[in-house]
């Protein structure tokens, strides 16, 4: 009998609780809707240039110069992609892959060592040296074009891929050092001290203990550096020639004629240049997310 009365009391109490919580549901729904709408607008703004390029690449040359400009192609065609692939875009792909990959590897090796030193070691003038490194990164690339040109000319590196790899490797360092410093500082000092007590040298502790823990940061930094090198235009325009053009410069040259620019071919080449980059980022991002999840579970 007592259990029956208790069950009836709980059954009568449930509607009261529902009435208390129900006013919060409309507010939660409204907040979620606002967040969703704002996120959708941000994504639309971010992806609109790429969607426009994709639509333009499927248009005929006459549609790209029509006034007013059509939003969608009336008769979609892949002719612009065929013409773009018949040009020198393959060579530009190879040049971009070599310069972006090699400079990214050099930057990551130097930035990893420098970031570890700034984050874990104590030495004289450490703060001043870090400020100097960051100070030189504040100069805009346009100001540095002529001095770098003169340096590359004296080294006989103009119109060569090493002439791009060298400045790319240097200018990616400050940002990479800053990002990796944050990851190294988050690693507990006790892990490294325990490894040193067990007989490992500081360098072996860095290789075997610190680096595996900071794999997510390494991949994230590598993505940022690689994308920056892949999309760089100013240095590639001034320090290369026809045979050493990278994609940002090459896609402009294959779409230009003596008197006009074929925007359909330009858009098609742009889409072709972005596809491998998107695939690479998606593949690396999965490893970054899995690394972050594994680190969270271990912690």
Distance CA 50, CA 56 (A): 10
Please, what are the domains in the chain? 88-254 (1.10.3720.10)
- Say whether pTM exceeds 0.85: no
For 285, residues 6+ apart whose C-beta sits below 8 A from its C-beta are 223
Per residue in 97-132, pLDDT (tens digit) is: 999 999 999 999 999 999 988 888 887 888 888 888
Nearest CA among 126, 108, 298 for reference residue 218: 108
Nearest CA among 244, 225, 228, 105 for reference residue 163: 244
Other beta carbons within 10 Å of 111: 25
- Percent of the chain residues topping a pLDDT of 90: 18
pLDDT of residue 288: 59
Per residue in 42-94, pLDDT (tens digit) is: 988 888 888 888 888 888 878 887 878 788 888 888 888 888 888 788 889 89
User: What is the average pLDDT score of the chain?
Assistant: 81
Distance CA 105, CA 168 (A): 11
Kindly tell me the sign of the dihedral angle through the C-alpha atoms of 61, 65, 68, 72: positive
Residues of the chain below pLDDT 70: 1-24, 258, 285-299
């Amino acid at each position: 009998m007592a259990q029956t009365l208790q069950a009836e009391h709980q059954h009568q109490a449930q509607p009261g609780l529902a009435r208390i919580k129900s006013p919060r549901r409309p507010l939660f729904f409204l907040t979620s809707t606002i967040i969703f709408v704002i996120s959708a607008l941000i994504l639309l703004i971010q992806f609109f240039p790429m969607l426009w390029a994709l639509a333009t690449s499927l248009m005929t040359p006459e549609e790209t110069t029509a006034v007013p400009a059509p939003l969608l192609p009336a008769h979609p065609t892949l002719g612009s992609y065929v013409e773009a692939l018949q040009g020198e875009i393959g060579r530009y792909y190879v040049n971009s892959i070599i310069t972006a990959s090699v400079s990214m590897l050099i930057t990551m090796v130097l930035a990893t060592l420098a970031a570890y030193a700034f984050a874990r070691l104590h030495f004289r003038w450490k703060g001043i040296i870090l400020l100097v490194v960051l100070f030189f990164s504040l100069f805009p690339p346009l100001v540095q074009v002529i001095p770098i040109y003169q340096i590359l000319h004296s080294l006989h590196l103009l119109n060569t891929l090493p002439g791009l790899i060298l400045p790319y490797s240097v200018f990616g360092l400050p940002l990479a050092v800053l990002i990796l410093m944050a990851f190294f500082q988050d690693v507990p000092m006790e892990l490294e001290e325990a490894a040193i007590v067990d007989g490992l040298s500081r360098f072996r502790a860095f290789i075997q203990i610190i680096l595996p823990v900071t794999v997510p940061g390494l991949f994230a930094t590598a993505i940022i550096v690689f994308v920056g090198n892949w999309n760089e235009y100013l240095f590639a325009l001034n320090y290369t020639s026809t045979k050493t053009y990278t994609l940002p410069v090459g896609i402009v040259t294959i779409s230009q004629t003596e008197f006009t620019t074929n925007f359909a071919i330009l858009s098609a080449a742009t889409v072709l240049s972005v596809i491998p980059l998107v695939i690479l980022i998606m593949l690396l991002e999965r490893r970054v997310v899995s690394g972050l999840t594994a680190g969270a579970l271990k912690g």
